[in-house]
Structure 1
């Protein structure tokens, strides 16, 4: 049996106020073209379908169109929610969609039932485990010792009661220890969300989502497929792709990838304003790419962004690298360590993780906790 593995579509995402919707529509068309070429029996979507728990109407319509196209091609589709998705919203209509060959993981409720597919070598059991936190699992297994993410996933996997004589596939969305991250991913302080790969030992293939760079974890058959598009300049050298998995008899799994070419690439440039605006320079570039430009002029260029966008319309980020900025960066780094309170640091982390400020009730709660901790330390 052949299936395709994708994840982290982040439909509806905006990067530096640029909407990615046109790029996402284009890349989904290219994924469908690969499906036409490869003719897989199934497509696994390992979470973060949307970029927000309440997605935009445009993002929902785009995904709806994608699912309809897959259904027309008789490609069975397996979907789980990621940490960016709302598990409840994703699961809506799931029982009805089964009739069209679309299987959506329900909200985790202590059990994970397999969807069984058949081929010439027998049964393939596909388990859909959405993104869960330890608390989500602990509430159903109060007698189990669940102190971290590894414990939670271990318990969730144990209740599946795998038949290891058959082929078993897991689709899940977690950070597995050893994976390389990029800037556009949510990161937990101190790696508290790490899951040890050993909990997946009995699966013949593990389709992972959450990490944006394609990579294997330990063995070839525990894999992140990565995002189909770049979503930050830290991903500039990523080769985005679709993972193709061909599963034959037990123990025989062949893995390959199909590269995905974006509508617009990402590019970083560094130089003086005059250098970057020289016709001979920019004519050799793809000016439609998403750009990060670093100017090395010692003096700021008035209205530099507006002027540069005439040549580079998708300029996302502009900064300077000169004596002034290097000195300022060193000063701020030292000053911030001295001046920031624990509350300031937590507030900044919350904003980065959730793209919004804490409300007054949350601020009071954190203030009280910080004070209590400090009192206990004296």
Structure 2
């Protein structure tokens, strides 16, 4: 049995305000080509298809086109919902779509309902566990506690209770933070005081666990893996290869895995130095076509730095100053006395820019104060 494991598409998401739909569409076209060329039996999507519970019409159309194209390759498509998705909305029409090969697992009621696939060695059961918010589902699942560990354990117990006695091979999709995973800055935190963590041992009964939620591809165990997001959604993912997982499940559940690099997307670059260095140094030429985060170490603020750097880096989307400016001198207040408005203004300006107020700035401030008082 051969399948592709992917997750965290986040269709409709922007990157620091930049539209990512073009790159998301490129990824989906790549995924269809890979499904066809490897003749996979199924494509497994472990949550966060969309970036928000109410995606826009164009984003829904993008997803619809992708599913149609994947089904045309002959693959079954199994999707579980993530914490960014609205499970009931994503799962609309799921019983009818299943007859066409699209299997949506988006509500707790369907956790124990497997997608049954067949290969030359017999059946493979694929289960989908949607993102489970403990506070909403723990009682209905009969979980022992109001934690992610407890609700995932209860979900797996429900699956095992519903299985027949035949030794079928089995795969599960889940969207959760598993202890030991390395996160990035672009996942939405689902934990409070560690209650969002769950141990990988909960998935021991399955031959392969296709995880979603963490955006860096990684293995928790040899059979419990995150595919990662196909596109980077934070600068903490700069230099992190984006992949989908090609998984082959043997006759006895043995695994062969291959990470297929995803070519879609604009590269990320985090640049550090002075404003003039970034603006002129040939060493930064590699980043001229990338999404850029600039970290400037100038001790004085450069006017219009973002706009001026965009003359070289058209896709500069983030800028920060890393140097600490000189502190404003402390003012001792005596009884019945204090700094004047102009002194407060001048001290603030020195704190923000590193320079005292000039004649023109003091004049403008005085005029503004006169108008305010009038």
TM-score (norm 2): 0.83
Match of 1:186 in 2: 188
1:68-79 equivalences under 5 Å are: 68-79=68-79
Q: Deviations over 1:236-281 (max 9, x none)?
A: 1211001010011123111111011233100011112222222634
Structure-2 change in CA distance of 1:210 and 1:277 (3 Å): same
Conserved 8 A contact 1:10-1:50: yes
Determine if the alignment matches structure 1 residue 295 to structure 2 residue 290. Answer: no
Give SS of 1:323's match. Answer: coil
Distance 2:131 2:292 in 1: 33
1:1-378 equivalences under 5 Å are: 1-109=1-109, 111-142=111-142, 144-161=143-160, 162=163, 163=165, 165-187=167-189, 188-217=191-220, 219-278=221-280, 280-282=282-284, 284-324=285-325
Distance 1:208 1:164 in 2: 25
Distance 2:134 2:267 in 1: 38
Give SS of 2:152's match. Answer: helix
Across the aligned residues of Structure 1 and Structure 2, the Cα RMSD in angstroms comes to 1.8
Conserved 8 A contact 2:179-2:200: yes
Q: Deviations over 1:78-118 (max 9, x none)?
A: 00110000001010011121122110114212752111111
How many residue pairs are counted as aligned between the two chains?
Answer: 324
TM-score (norm 1): 0.82
Give SS of 1:257's match. Answer: strand
Conserved 8 A contact 2:171-2:210: yes
Q: Deviations over 1:42-89 (max 9, x none)?
A: 000000000001111121111111111111111110001100000010
Moved over 4 A (4+): none
Q: Which structure is larger by alpha-carbon Rg, 1 or 2?
A: 2
Distance 1:224 1:164 in 2: 28
More moved, 238-247 vs 146-155: 146-155
Offset, 1:132 = 0.6
Distance 2:262 2:151 in 1: 34
Q: Deviations over 1:294-332 (max 9, x none)?
A: 11222211111111112111111111122318x79xxxx
Conserved 8 A contact 2:105-2:111: no
Match of 1:359 in 2: none
Structure-2 change in CA distance of 1:270 and 1:203 (3 Å): same
Give SS of 1:4's match. Answer: strand
Distance 1:156 1:294 in 2: 45
Q: Which runs of 5+ in 1 are unaligned?
A: 329-378
Structure-2 change in CA distance of 1:14 and 1:4 (3 Å): same
Conserved 8 A contact 2:111-2:128: no
More moved, 172-181 vs 269-278: 269-278
Structure-2 change in CA distance of 1:4 and 1:54 (3 Å): same
Distance 1:204 1:76 in 2: 19
Offset, 1:164 = 7.0
Structure-2 change in CA distance of 1:122 and 1:270 (3 Å): same
Give SS of 1:138's match. Answer: helix
